[in-house]
Amino acid sequence: MYRIDIMTLFPDTVGAVLHESILGRAVKKELLELNCWQIRDYTENKQKQVDDYPYGGGWGCVMMAQPLKSCLEAVCAASGERRRRVIYLSPQGPTFTQETARRLQRDYDQLVLVCGHYEGVDERFIEQCVDEELSLGDFVLTGGEIAAMAVADAVCRLVPGVLADEQCYIGESHWDGLLEYPQYTRPETWEGRSVPEVLLQGDHQKVERWRRREQIARTMRKRPDMFEKLRLTEKEDLKLLEEVRKAQGRAQMTEPVTYRPATEEDLPALLRITAEAQALLKKRGVDQWQDGYPNAAAFRFDMERGESFVVLHGEEIAGFFTLSTREEASYASITDGKWSSDRPYCVLHRAAVAARWRGTGLADRLIACVEERARALGLGCIRTDTHRKNKAMQRLLREHGFRYRGNVAVRVGEGHDNARQAYEKLLKK
Ligand SMILES: C[S@@+](CC[C@H](N)C(=O)[O-])C[C@H]1O[C@@H](n2cnc3c(N)ncnc32)[C@H](O)[C@@H]1O
């Protein structure tokens, strides 16, 4: 059984904290033994004095070596032969890390944690009895208790059986030089912020990949000092790192994503985003939006009918879509398949995300806005179409539950490809 003995002037307080929750349960299950020792009980003077004035003068008092040594002897006598490590919690020690916690759990089965107070402890006790000093960080506490509790907690949760599974700590921040990925729980949308779509789809491989990329990205962003020391060697990690570096140049989603009807003032932003999308499609060899469509006239037509929407990240226009309740003539004749329902439907036309928001998850939010709007209209079916080479749009649609239904021919400028793949999503009631 892993054993921790804490030498302190406040054994009741420390004992009460450490016997709570997970560690308390582990003690009951006899996976751990946690003891707190009152240093004052080992004084050899009537007043039970544990400290005295410093030689050479100066402020405050210093804890005497004798009660500390006698207390330590009592701890050793009570615990017998063990792989024991005596640690003095001190602002002068190296900083305690997850790596230290792993070493202390792996290499020993007893820690004796000595808590100083006042101005610290007589140096001769440290020289004679202490195996190592550990600090909680570069600041000074009034006593070693908080530091001792932190060390005890971090080490004990690594003792087999204390947590439900070792997976609980493998993959956590600092285990392999990375921070943990972001975590979410219910509800799916909270104060306008939604859980990333990938976590809702049940594709474990995709979730794992997304989480690993988030680990790399947030270590890079939040802890450049850790990132500097990181040596990624796995092929998949290097690929993810490349993706993260590319994404760095892009915007970060930090504000709620909302949508509202587009107005004439939004037209310049709509046309700029359209031009960015046209350029991307051209670069990818997709003959879609290459005939000067959509143009200002098309957007104004949609606006007049209240069917054009801007998607906002905070105040910024990050994308747009048109959701029309008018029947789409070209959907009447579908080939190589059929629509799955004859419910009244709405049509998603003219959707795009600004270049600086690509790859940030904004497109997922855009689709969520489309669905919200369709629901608000009381329509349980959304239809749309895209070019067979527009793989990004096809992937986005599939990821959001749209299904390929067949092929349609749309109206396009002369000399352009008018064949489109038709997609449909039936919204849950
Ligand atoms: C006020 S501090 C003494 C600081 C000491 N005079 C110095 O300047 O190095 C009293 C006790 O708090 C504990 N302590 C203070 N800061 C700590 C830290 N950063 N990490 C661990 N223990 C700390 C130590 O046990 C120390 O003996």
Give yes or no: residues 376 and 396 share one domain.
Answer: yes
411 burial level (CB within 10 Å; 0-12, 13-18, 19+)? exposed
Half-sphere exposure of 379 (CA within 13 A, CB side): 23
What does the pLDDT average to over 102-113?
A: 98
Q: State in Å: Cα 63 to ligand 1 middle.
A: 12
Q: What is the four-CA torsion angle of 156, 158, 161, 165, rounded to 10 degrees?
A: 140
- Of 115-119, 252-256, 323-327, 361-365, minimum mean pLDDT range: 252-256
Whether residue 282 lies inside any domain: the answer is yes
Q: What is the CA 160 to chain-centroid distance, rounded? A: 26
Sign of the Cα torsion 26, 30, 33, 35 reads: positive
Query: What confidence score (pLDDT) does residue 192 get?
Result: 66
Residue 316's φ and ψ, nearest 5 degrees, are: -85, 135
- CA–CA distance, 91 with 134 (Å, rounded to integer): 7
**Does 59 contact ligand 1 (Cβ within 6 A)?**
no
Query: What CATH number does the domain containing 228 carry?
Result: 1.10.1270.20
Same domain for 211 and 138 = no
User: What confidence tens digit (pLDDT) does each residue in 32-70 have?
Assistant: 999 999 999 999 999 999 999 999 999 999 999 999 999
What lies within 8 Å, CB to CB, of 370 at 6+ separation is 321, 323, 348, 351, 382
**Is residue 294 predicted with pLDDT exceeding 70?**
yes
Q: The tokens of 163 are what?
A: 């947590």
At residue 81, φ and ψ (nearest 5 deg) are -75, 125
Same domain? 237 vs 383 = no
Residue 351 in any domain: the answer is yes
Cis peptide before 294 (omega within 30 of 0): yes
Q: Does 92 sit in the ligand 1 pocket, CB within 6 Å?
A: yes
* Eight-class DSSP state of 121: B
3 state SS of 420: strand
Same-domain status, 263 and 321:
yes
What single letter denotes the amino acid at residue 251? Answer: A
Bond from prior residue into 91 cis (ω within 30 degrees of 0): no
Same domain, 26 and 126: yes
pTM: 0.66
Atom number of ligand 1 nearest to Cα 140: 16
How many whole angstroms from 278 Cα to the centroid of ligand 1? 63
243 and 263 share one domain: no
Q: Give the number of the atom of ligand 1 that is nearest the alpha carbon of residue 143.
A: 12
Query: Whole-angstrom Cα distance, residue 7 to residue 5?
Result: 7
| Domain interval for residue 25 | 2-168
The answer on pLDDT for 224 being more than 90 is: no
Ligand 1 center–CA 227 separation, angstroms: 30
**Helix, strand, coil: what percent of the chain each, to 5?**
40, 20, 40
User: Phi/psi of residue 239, each to 5°?
Assistant: -65, -45
For residues 140 and 217, membership in a common domain is answered with no
Q: What is the whole-number distance in angstroms between the Cα of residue 151 and the centre of ligand 1?
A: 14
pLDDT value at 145 more than 70 = yes
Residue 130 CB less than 6 A away from ligand 1: no
Domain boundary among 200, 230, 248: 248
pLDDT in tens, 369-428: 999 999 999 999 999 999 999 999 999 999 999 999 999 999 999 999 999 999 999 997
- What backbone torsions phi and psi does residue 58 show, to the nearest 5 degrees? 120, 175
Atom of ligand 1 nearest to the CA of 138: 19
State whether the beta carbon of 133 lies less than 6 angstroms from ligand 1: no
Going along 222-380, which residue ranges are E strands?
A: 257-261, 308-313, 316-324, 346-353
Residue nearest to atom 20 of ligand 1 (CA): 135
pLDDT bin (cut points 50, 70, 90) of residue 190 is confident
Residues 40 and 156 in one domain: yes
Burial 238-250 (b: 16+ CB within 10 A, else e): eebbeebeeeeee
